[in-house]
Amino acid sequence: MCDVDYVRSIVNNGLSKSDAVRLFVECDFRVLAKVANEITEKVTGNSVTFVNNVVINYSNICVAQCPICAFYRPPKHPEAYVRSPQEIINAVREARARYGVDELHINGGFNPDLTIEYFEEVFSGVKRAVPEIIIKGPTAAEVDFYARVWRMSSREVLERLKVAGLDVLSGGGAEILSEDVRKIITPYKFDANTWLRIQKEAHEVGLHTNATMLYGHIEQPHHIVEHVMAIKRLQEETGGVLMFIPIKFVPWNTRLLKDGIVKGPAPPEYDIKVIAISRLILGSTIGRIGAYWASTGKRLASTLLLSGANDLVGTMINEQVMKQAGLREYTTIEELASIAREVGRRPYLRDTLHRKLIEVKP
């Protein structure tokens, strides 16, 4: 019988992989969410955090052309673009002046024409123009791709970008850390071990990172459990992960949907289970788990804040990846704060490194 007491006792005795898979498969999502919420309240009380950030994609040109992706355009496509360093610097300056953003989240596709000098010019130019801004991005996947194009080691790329102004590596590219899933959803991207290696290298050169998981496509419960356990081991080893962000797969405009490999988005009960099992596995090893409203929608995000999540990630001004996949949600500091308040939490603005906390008052 999978009730709250049963789940509590399994978790208190140390959750094995087989336990976690069994709970995920057999327990009602409400039961898992209740126990996950109890743990979250012990870890971070009733606070919910998020950063005020702007998202800028330097280029949508990508030669990886993953079946999960609606964002990329092939080289020479009429909608393909590369933003100049000055364009990016101007956009950050404007976002700081108009919205008071504290973070630049910068990512893009695998564009073989870009050089390391381009990224150095972007990062150092942003820091010169707006010194208060914390720069988050690229992902380990981009680091791996560009290291191969530039014939450098990934560690060397990380070190050079850090000197240029990079503060935090974003958590993308992890998808699901299992090769049998990756060969279908991202066949031309790096393998799971390389994602883990580059995360560790980032921690070793003094960069913090986020960690993500893309769920709701072809994965099975054991893939979710193995992924979260791999992130937990990484954190136990290095302590460099700032937060864990499960990202719901949005299938619209992707080849996975067109080819009939997925039929549509996962149901909300599945989202709740994913967040809850993540908290049951991670406990306090990673304090903050993100409710990624840009892919779940804001209504579901508030439920996730009672299911193990305790961070709303960011205002994400100008986010494009989910928009290309058909989602058109926008938000503000006040709206994210009210989502937290609606479920009895106190909203706090944080910086990327989770240092400053300023309560957002009604």
Q: How far is the CB of 155 from ligand SF4 (least distance, A)?
A: 21
Q: How far apart are CA 140 and CA 134, in angstroms?
A: 18
**Closest approach of ligand SF4 to the CB of residue 21, in Å:** 27
Which lies closer to ligand SF4 via its Cβ, residue 188 or residue 330?
A: 188
Q: Which is nearer to ligand SF4, 29 or 72 (CB)?
A: 72
Task: Give the residues lining the site for ligand SF4 (CB under 6 A).
Answer: 62, 64-66, 69, 71-72, 109-110, 141, 186, 189
CA separation, residue 117 to residues 16, 289, 299 (Å): 46, 34, 42
As a dihedral over the C-alpha atoms of residue 145, residue 148, residue 150, residue 153, rounded to 10 degrees, the angle is 110
CB of 250 to ligand SF4, least distance (A): 12
275: nearest Cα among 315, 316, 311 = 311
Closest CB 268 distance from ligand SF4, rounded Å: 24
Nearer to ligand SF4, 65 or 124 (CB): 65
72 vs 348, beta carbon nearer ligand SF4: 72
Report the DSSP pairing between strands 103-107 and 134-136. parallel
Q: Are 246 and 291 in contact (CB under 8 A)?
A: no
Beta-bridge partners for 103 = 53, 134
Residue type for 166, please?
Answer: L
Nearest-angstrom CA–CA distance, 311 and 49 = 5
Which of 4/82 has CB closer to ligand SF4? Answer: 82
Smallest separation (angstroms) from ligand SF4 to the CB of 165: 22
Choice between 70 and 224, CB closer to ligand SF4: 70
Nearest approach, Cβ of 65 to ligand SF4 (angstroms)? 5
Q: What stretch of H or E contains 350?
A: strand 346-350
24 vs 195 by CB, closer to ligand SF4:
195
Shortest separation between residue 222's beta carbon and ligand SF4, angstroms: 23
Which DSSP string corresponds to 25-62?
HHS-HHHHHHHHHHHHHHHHTTEEEEE-EEEEESB-B-
| Nearest to ligand SF4 of 60, 307 (CB atom) | 60
Nearest approach, Cβ of 198 to ligand SF4 (angstroms)? 14
Helices marked H in the chain: 4-12, 17-26, 29-44, 85-99, 116-129, 140-150, 154-164, 179-185, 192-204, 221-238, 255-258, 268-282, 293-296, 298-304, 321-324, 333-342
